């Protein structure tokens, strides 16, 4: 994933787009809200508007560079598309996000869709729970 991907997506190479892609790539974090990205930009001294962040993230999504998730219903979370497909498991206490893959579940979903007469286009699987750390904290 590099700036050339921006051009491949048919988007002009502009500072906001390059900076936003950099933030998604360089951070050890993997999941960002638009606000998260915006604050990172401000911290780096970049004067990029929140509207632009939303626009660029949406364009990146259309281009297949990032995925958008709706973990908790309140706001969107963006994640750079790298590595294979995976689902998410989230801590309802601390907000931690882990990832997992289960081939059996993947296959079963296709089977279910087929049996129901649907041509499957996508799926969403979130597991919510209390992570190991949070279980220790409050019993």
Partner DNA sequence: ATGTAAATGAAAACGCTTCTCATTACTATT
Partner DNA sequence: AATAGTAATGAGAAGCGTTTTCATTTACAT
94 binds a copy of itself (CB under 8 A): no
Q: What is the DSSP letter of 69?
A: E
Angle at 87 between CA 98 and CA 16, to 5 degrees: 80
- Are 88 and 127 contacting, i.e. CB atoms less than 8 angstroms apart? yes
Among 27, 67, 76, 81, indicate the residue that binds DNA (CB under 7 A): 76
Among 98, 137, 138, 139, indicate the residue that binds a copy of itself (CB under 8 A): 98
Among 16, 93, 99, 134, indicate the residue that binds DNA (CB under 7 A): 16
Q: Which does 135 bind (CB under 5 to 8 A by kind): DNA, a copy of itself, none?
A: a copy of itself
Which helix H or strand E contains 108, and what residues bound it?
Answer: helix 103-115
129 binds a copy of itself (CB under 8 A): yes
17 binds DNA (CB under 7 A): yes
34 binds DNA (CB under 7 A): yes
Give 52-55's long-range contacts (Cβ < 8 A, gap of 24+).
52/16, 53/16, 53/20
Among 7, 35, 112, 137, indicate the residue that binds a copy of itself (CB under 8 A): 112
27 binds DNA (CB under 7 A): no
Pair type for strands 66-69 and 77-80:
antiparallel
SS3 state of residue 118: coil
Among 8, 29, 75, 86, indicate the residue that binds DNA (CB under 7 A): 75
Read off φ and ψ for residue 111, nearest 5 degrees: -60, -45
Binding region for DNA (CB under 7 A): 7, 11-17, 33-35, 47-52, 54-56, 58, 74-76
């Amino acid at each position: 994933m590099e700036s050339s991907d921006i051009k491949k997506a048919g988007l002009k190479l502009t500072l906001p787009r390059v900076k936003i892609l950099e933030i998604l790539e360089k951070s050890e974090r993997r999941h960002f809200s638009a606000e998260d990205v915006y604050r990172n930009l401000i911290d780096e001294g970049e004067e990029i508007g929140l509207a632009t962040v939303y626009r660029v993230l949406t364009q990146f999504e259309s281009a297949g560079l990032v995925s958008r998730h709706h973990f908790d219903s309140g706001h969107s979370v963006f994640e750079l598309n790298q590595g294979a497909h995976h689902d998410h498991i989230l801590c309802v206490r601390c907000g931690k996000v882990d990832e997992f893959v289960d081939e059996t579940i993947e296959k079963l979903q296709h089977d279910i869709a087929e049996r129901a007469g649907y041509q499957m286009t996508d799926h969403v699987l979130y597991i919510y729970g209390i992570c190991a750390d949070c279980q220790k904290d409050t019993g």
